[in-house]
Amino acid sequence: MKKLFFMAVLLLGVIFTSNAQDIARNAIGVRLGDNDGFGAEISYQHELSEANRLELDLGFRNNNDADAFKLTGIYQWVWNIDQGFNWYAGFGAGIGSWSKGDRYSGTGDDGLFLNADGNIGIEYNFDIPLMISLDFRPEFGLIGDYGKDTDLDIALSLRYQF
């Protein structure tokens, strides 16, 4: 028990005393979220300036009603909180394809959708080329039946920085 406690304190000490860069030039990883069903995305971030970046996410979503593939682009502003900790906010759009039911038997449906997206989150950049983030992304449906309502997506991301 003492060893476990010591290791936990040591790990927290390393995390909170680490120094890292504010924005990585490039980062790639996974974004695991939930908006009415589990979704996994391949996520890529590219630095545009010292305080701005572009995030592109390509992923799959599924829930009880439908399955969807989606490409999302988000323009983000990034602000440093303290050594390695940043918070960010941005806006963008998502486009995708969805299907529900069995369209081959005539009881299903499918189509194209377009969303307007917001984004706010917090991230930590480790000394090693690893970043972890937690974000909130409201998605407002513009076109199509899949995203016609507002979806609230909360996700955890792990990215390799290069």
Q: What pLDDT, on the 0 to 100 scale, is given for residue 89?
A: 98
Q: What pLDDT, on the 0 to 100 scale, is given for residue 83?
A: 87
Q: What is the pLDDT of residues 31-84, one digit of tens each?
A: 998 765 678 999 999 999 999 999 999 998 777 677 889 999 999 999 999 988
Determine the average pLDDT of the residues in 109-129.
Answer: 92
Determine the average pLDDT of the residues in 123-148.
Answer: 89
Task: Name the range with the highest mean pLDDT among 35-39, 43-47, 101-105, 150-154.
Answer: 43-47
Neighbouring C-beta atoms of residue 141, cutoff 10 Å: 17
Alpha-carbon span 83 to 126, nearest angstrom = 10
- 113, 146 Cβ separation under 8 angstroms: yes
Residues forming beta bridges with residue 23, ordered by sequence position: none
DSSP-assigned letters across all residues of 65-129: S-EEEEEEEEEEEEEEEETTEEEEEEEEEEEEEEEES-TTTTS-EEEEEEEEEEEEEEEEE-SSS
Q: What pLDDT, on the 0 to 100 scale, is given for residue 152?
A: 85
CATH number for 63: 2.40.160.20
Name the average pLDDT for the chain: 83
Task: Report the domain count for the chain.
Answer: 1
Domain that holds residue 144: 2-161
